[in-house]
Homo-oligomer: A and B are copies of this chain.
Amino acid sequence: VTTLNIPRTIEWIGQLDGCVRLIDQTLLPTEFKFLDCTDLETLREAIVSLRVRGAPAIGVAGAMGLVLGIRTASDSDPAEFNKQLHAAADRLASSRPTAVNLFWALDRMKSCAESNAAQPIPDIKEALLREAMAIRDEDARTCRAIGENGHDLIPEGGGVLTHCNAGSLATAEYGTALALMYSAREHGRRFEVFADETRPLLQGSRLTAWELGKAGIQTTVLCDNMAAQLMKEGRIQIVITGADRIAANGDVANKIGTYGLAVLARAHAIPFYVAAPRSTFDLTLENGDQIPIETRSSAEIREGFGRITAPASANFYSPAFDVTPAGYLSAIVTEQGVIWSPCSQKIREFFSA
């Protein structure tokens, strides 16, 4: 087993007086630069400006940001400390409204502070730092497990198509959909990766092709409208994407364009897989119709690259996500195993096992 060169998206450097080091993703692919955040506001701005993005990565950022926000708080006044802790959590929670992992991570950090409330404040601070690092490490382990559970699905010599960035850059490291590719390559398998550029924000060409290239996995970028032709030419043997939310029946919300790819894959008899951690399932939603679809700013289409490319007279249609019905999925790959032909019953069984 080889270990690939996969950069860490976000980590804590040093001790309590250290900093949060993250890859500034807005500079990619032309510039690979780390940003060291030593205070809460710098880190919050990094989330707001998408310097760090991807739900699991934002969760880690939120947890570490909370440590930045409380480390200089009073060491002697518990009331003052708690006030500052909650103010910091609220401030971070307002950075991005939809990333559910952010709220989950902040809640977990607050619980950690509560269960250490009897300790001296300096010890609570240390406990919070350990918890933030644990959240990061757990995410990295989850991603590794997803890769191990799914890498055999990639056939030797095959063509793999992915959409958007469900990679190391969207998580602490290693990714979800890309975890299968990293793991397959670490086990010595050879295959070709194709990455949809993924308009409007080009996460496929800007981020996926970049991180796969860094890891030595050759990647071919295509415009989203070229995927069907690539399938027709017989060059795609498997499609793998991530997920933003999965309903109790297996319907998958993911980056806009995923549903179209699933329909095209079905028409060309190509298996379609979703890779995601257990935490992506939202069992409170019976099916995908209940998943709210965020509409993005029309500016992302109209002038996505700093240049106006549509007339002032135009309207825009710009959903950020679509929902792929479970029936299009060959399987969902999780850190605890593969759910084949997902449906309500199988997902219920998976979670009660």
Contact = CB atoms under 8 A, between A and B. Distances in A.
Nearest to A298: B221
Interface string A251-286: 000001101100110110000000000000000000
Nearest to A204: B310
Contacts of A213: 311-314
A39 interface: no
Interface string A210-221: 100110001111
Question: How many monomers of this chain does the complex have?
Answer: 2
Interface in A278-327: 301-302, 304-319, 322
A197 interface: yes
A213 B309 CA distance: 14
A44 interface: no
Contact of A318 (B195, B222, B227, B315): B222
Contact of A223 (B205, B221, B228, B318): B318
A24 interface: no
B223 A256 contact: yes
Contacts of A264: 260, 263-264
Contacts of A228: 257, 259-260, 263, 322
- Give chain A's interface secondary structure class: mixed
A305 B223 CA distance: 13
Contact of A224 (B199, B267, B319): B199
Contact of A205 (B163, B210, B301): B301
A43 interface: no
A309 B206 contact: yes
A231 to B, nearest CB: 9
B230 A317 contact: yes
A194 interface: yes
Contacts of A318: 222-223, 226
Nearest to A202: B309
A118 B214 CA distance: 71
B220 A310 contact: no
A127 to B, nearest CB: 40
17 contacts: A200-B223, A209-B311, A210-B313, A214-B313, A219-B314, A220-B316, A220-B317, A221-B314, A221-B316, A223-B318, A224-B225, A226-B317, A260-B260, A263-B263, A304-B305, A305-B305, A305-B306
Interface of A: 28-30, 163, 194-200, 202, 205-206, 209-210, 213-214, 218-230, 232, 256-257, 259-260, 263-264, 266-267, 301-302, 304-319, 322
Given A229-B322, A305-B306, 15 more contacts: A28-B311, A29-B309, A29-B312, A202-B310, A210-B311, A210-B313, A219-B315, A220-B315, A221-B317, A223-B301, A224-B224, A228-B263, A229-B256, A232-B322, A267-B267
